[in-house]
Amino acid sequence: MEFDAVFVGAGHNALAAAVHLANRGWSVGVFERNETAGGAVRTEEVTLPGFRHDLYATNLGMFAGSAFHADYGETLARRGLAFVPAEHCFATPTPSGTWFGVSKDLEQTVARAARLSDADAARWQSMLAEFGADAPHLFALLGSPMSARALAKVGWKAWRGKGVAWMLDTARMLASSPREFLEGNFESPEIRAALGAWGMHLDFGPDVAGGALFPYLESMADQSFGMVVGQGGADTIVKAMVAEIEARGGVVRTGAEVVKIRTDGGRATAVLLADGQEVRGRRAVIATVTPGALVGRLLDGGTGDGRYDRAAAKFRHGPGTMMIHLATSGLPEWSAGEELQRFLYIHLAPSLDMMSRAYSEAVAGLLPAEPLLVVGQQTTVDPSRAPDGNHTLWIQVRMVPGTILGDAAGSITATDWAGAGQAYADRVVDIIERYAPGTKDKILARYVETPADLERRNPNLVGGDSLAGSHHLSQNFLFRPVPGWAKYTTPVNGLYLIGASTWPGGGTGAGSGYMLAKSLAGT
């Protein structure tokens, strides 16, 4: 077989790039080792028939708000793409029964803040007003290629629109830790915890520099626009993109592992499949793998550029993630109040100090005594995911170690995930039970994926790192994935690297795939 562009892996970035190139007249072939396309966007009935669980990614707000969706949303809707909005986005209860949550209705959010602090309620409103003016410049940065020309354009517009003082304040915020940002803006521990949990989604413990941006953006965006999930499952975006590629004459082939990338004269020319078949790429070979896998597994002898290869081999991964999926006969009955059943996300992380301990324990190789839990209640907004009257719970455990050196609580003796996984899942369920007594009695079935399982399912998730690489400042922006190579090119001509390991990193925004495809197609 031969195509203009050959893709290694069928994650959502690869599919978005293939959609655009196919619409620009390129022939595209996408080859995926698993039996299902989508990478970390997968929906399966893993517990009981009729219960559809998003195995990994579930929040599709970044996809719905992306430049790719702005251009192809109508096309993909005709291919079956459908979203379900969540008006009540996220909430964090405390053991004492107090809580804070963000809903799209500003009055509701402000009223919850006012119960905790009048000053924080006023600050929330002023921050939201500032966000309306700041967001275009921030999203322009996050949606920009990491090239000098593109960044200069973004910077020029920001300087003209907001001035030097705003740019300096923004630069300081980009370098700040979640704790610095939150303690500088809010006095309520509950509000600090509710927002600080979003830093943990992106490998930022409360005291890690560079982590302030995500709690700010996610909370303000959710307040402004709400959250979004896929109707029937997150894989709605995958099915629609695959359908569009195939309608344009492209090929998406699953169960087809790429084992080598062929080069000739310093140029990528083809990929070799596990069955021995060679597939040629006339104009591009586009890989959605980690930098370490690219130079260590797919390219014999690396790229030929020693500096690039050494940096790629040292690409750092963050702590692991554990996923627990429950089929239940009802939603948790949260002690803090029935209203919490309306929220898409419940974070069980009642303080910044608790999150800091969990993060430090995971980084040290210990099973955290009390990890941060993200409890997704998708069926509260999309009942189609479970039989009538029943529900699914999507539980993301952050953070846990990829390699276990011990247990901070001292009760689990196993030092491998095969032995520790179910016992640690029991600990997680016990934590939920403390906040919502009676939840255990509602569990009909349970499915657990440890960090080892995540990596087995998707080799990009090294050690269960769901972000395919740490987002700390030394490995983000211009430094992602390798300093000097942030524009998706590699030292091998015609070979490109996209996906969560590249700028703008993890999430469902399809940024790397779409930016590369537009560059290759010239528009």
Residues 109 and 37 in one domain: no
Assess contact for 21 and 4: CB atoms under 8 A: yes
Among 201, 225, 249, residue at a domain's last position: 225
* 77-91: average pLDDT: 98
Residues 158 and 61 in one domain: no
Cross-strand pairs, 207: none
| CA 83 to mean position of chain CA atoms | 18
Six token digits for residue 439? 């939840």
Instruction: Report the pLDDT value the prediction gives residue 426, as an integer from 0 to 100.
Output: 98
Identify whether 95 is part of a domain: no
Residues 353 and 417 in one domain: yes
Who contacts 55 (Cβ-Cβ below 8 Å, separation ≥6)? Answer: 42, 43, 44, 46, 323, 325, 449, 457
| Residue at 156: amino acid letter | W
Identify whether 172 is part of a domain: yes
DSSP letters, 314-370, are T-----EEEEEEEEESS----TT-GGGGG-SEEEE---HHHHHHHHHHHHTTEEPSS
Identify whether 89 is part of a domain: no
Phi-psi region of 425 (alpha: psi -120 to 50; beta: other; left: phi over 0): alpha
* 231-239: average pLDDT: 98
Identify whether 90 is part of a domain: no
Among 176, 208, 225, residue at a domain's last position: 225
* 205-230: average pLDDT: 96
The overall average pLDDT reported for the chain is 97
Q: pLDDT digits over 405-441, tens only?
A: 999 999 999 999 999 999 999 999 999 999 999 999 9
Q: pLDDT digits over 361-371, tens only?
A: 999 999 999 99
* CATH code of the domain containing 396: 3.30.519
- Whether 513 shows a pLDDT value over 90: the answer reads yes
User: SS3 letters for 159-196?
Assistant: HHHHCHHHHHHHHHHHHCCHHHHHHCCCCCHHHHHHHH
Instruction: Report the pLDDT value the prediction gives residue 148, as an integer from 0 to 100.
Output: 86
H/E element holding 310? helix 306-313
Q: pLDDT digits over 1-21, tens only?
A: 999 999 999 999 999 999 999
- Total count of domains within the chain: 3
| CA 72 to mean position of chain CA atoms | 21
Residues 365 and 443 in one domain: yes
Q: Kindly report the number of other CB atoms within 10 A of residue 488's CB atom.
A: 24
- Whether 29 shows a pLDDT value over 90: the answer reads yes
Instruction: Report the pLDDT value the prediction gives residue 179, as an integer from 0 to 100.
Output: 98
| Residue at 367: amino acid letter | L
Q: Kindly report the number of other CB atoms within 10 A of residue 149's CB atom.
A: 9
What one-character DSSP code corresponds to residue 210? T
| Residue at 82: amino acid letter | A
* 97-113: average pLDDT: 98
| pLDDT band at residue 471 under the 50/70/90 scheme | very high
- 3-state helix, strand, coil split of the chain in percent (to 5) is 45, 20, 35
| pLDDT band at residue 284 under the 50/70/90 scheme | very high
- Whether 149 shows a pLDDT value over 90: the answer reads no
- Whether 495 shows a pLDDT value over 90: the answer reads yes
Identify whether 130 is part of a domain: yes
Residues 160 and 221 in one domain: yes
Identify whether 216 is part of a domain: yes
Residues 221 and 280 in one domain: no
Q: Give the separation between CA 153 and CA 144, rounded to whole angstroms.
A: 9
Six token digits for residue 279? 């597939």
Compute φ and ψ for 383, nearest 5 degrees.
Answer: -65, -15
Q: Give the separation between CA 115 and CA 394, rounded to whole angstroms.
A: 29
Residues 141 and 183 in one domain: yes
Pairwise pLDDT comparison (142 vs 435), residue with the higher score: 435
Residues 344 and 449 in one domain: yes
Q: pLDDT digits over 304-344, tens only?
A: 999 999 999 999 999 999 999 999 999 999 999 999 999 99
Identify whether 91 is part of a domain: no
Six token digits for residue 464? 């269960």
Residues 108 and 196 in one domain: yes
Range(s) of the domain holding residue 206: 100-225
Instruction: Report the pLDDT value the prediction gives residue 419, as an integer from 0 to 100.
Output: 98
> 434: helix, coil or strand?
helix
Six token digits for residue 441? 């009695």
Among 225, 249, 265, residue at a domain's last position: 225
| pLDDT band at residue 393 under the 50/70/90 scheme | very high
Q: Are strands 99-103 and 28-31 parallel, antiparallel or unpaired?
A: unpaired
Residues 201 and 125 in one domain: yes
Residues 346 and 447 in one domain: yes
| pLDDT band at residue 216 under the 50/70/90 scheme | very high
Identify whether 415 is part of a domain: yes
* CATH code of the domain containing 65: 3.50.50.60
Q: Give the separation between CA 205 and CA 177, rounded to whole angstroms.
A: 8
Cross-strand pairs, 273: 258
DSSP letters, 122-162, are HHHHHHHHHHHHHHHHHHHHHTS-SSHHHHHHHHHHHHHHH
| pLDDT band at residue 382 under the 50/70/90 scheme | very high
Q: Kindly report the number of other CB atoms within 10 A of residue 160's CB atom.
A: 8
Residues 330 and 451 in one domain: yes
